[in-house]
Amino acid sequence: MRWPSGKQFALLIPAALLLGFFFIMLGQPDSLSVLFTTRWFYFDFLFVSIISFIVLFYITTAHNTLDNRFPLRDSILQRLLWQAVWGLVFPVMLSFGLTFAYMHFVLHQDIRTTLFFVYEFPISIVVILCINLVLIVASLWFVPKQESEVLLPSTILASQGNRTVPLPIRSIAIFSKEGDYYLITTFDSQQYISPHHLDELELMVSSRDFFRANRQTLIHRDACGHFTTDRSGKITLYLSTKSDLPLSISQKRGADFRAWLAQ
């Protein structure tokens, strides 16, 4: 699962408040001046906003996860199918379930005797559909635009003895830190010293090709052989290149590694 980013999370709160206010006002005959003087309005506004936030959080998480596993630019039909299931059907069910629980356990109302199926439910489906459309358009438009603005280098200058060698990035299997040195290991098992530290190198290479396995290692997809997972979720990765030591990937990074490797 890929949780909402900081920017996305910051947008979810005001969006949830707006949606909460919107759904409360649906079919409401009273004016705002009257509603603001009643206690139930604030009580209802709080719970409906919480429900809206939960649904928005779920949709954003599902969208981010699908963006990572099924990028729209790579498999648009498959992605749209999964988006319909996880981004539309399940959020509609979640919205209905939370609203039913709120009415039944908090308000002690039978949802069938209310106007929920006349106003809130059909409009909530349209709202969830629109949210998905906005997220899909953002994935198609903004992400490729951002990637095109960042021109990644195709070559890195590295040293081997007293020589400086231009290394094509496609030939690099592993970036690693050993002591005070940052090493580059190629697929033909040649080693070089990099003038850049790992944080810099991570920004210089494609995130689709390289993964930050841990603080000491940045690894190319083609250098990954097989891996095992222990009971705690920690991954031991064995390389396809000539290397005596496997790499250790923490439980926290494990889910991201599996998602990256499955792209």
Model pLDDT for residues 33-63, shown as the tens digit of each residue: 888 889 889 999 999 999 999 999 999 999 9
- Work out the pLDDT band at 262, boundaries 50, 70, 90: confident
- Work out the pLDDT band at 147, boundaries 50, 70, 90: very low
Taking every pair of Cα atoms in the chain, the longest distance, rounded to a whole number of angstroms, is 83
Residue 108 has pLDDT above 80, yes or no: yes
Of 62-66, 150-154, 171-175, the one with minimum mean pLDDT is: 150-154
Angle at 18 between CA 62 and CA 25, to 5 degrees: 120
What is the value of pTM for the model shown?
Answer: 0.57
Residue 243 has pLDDT above 80, yes or no: no
Mean pLDDT for 231-237 is 90
- Work out the pLDDT band at 244, boundaries 50, 70, 90: low
Radius of gyration over alpha carbons of the chain, in Å?
A: 25
CA-to-CA distance for 241 and 243, rounded, in angstroms? 6
Residue 204: partners with Cβ closer than 8 Å, 6 or more residues away = 152, 153, 156, 169, 196
Domains and CATH numbers, the chain: 6-149 (no CATH), 155-261 (2.40.50.1020)
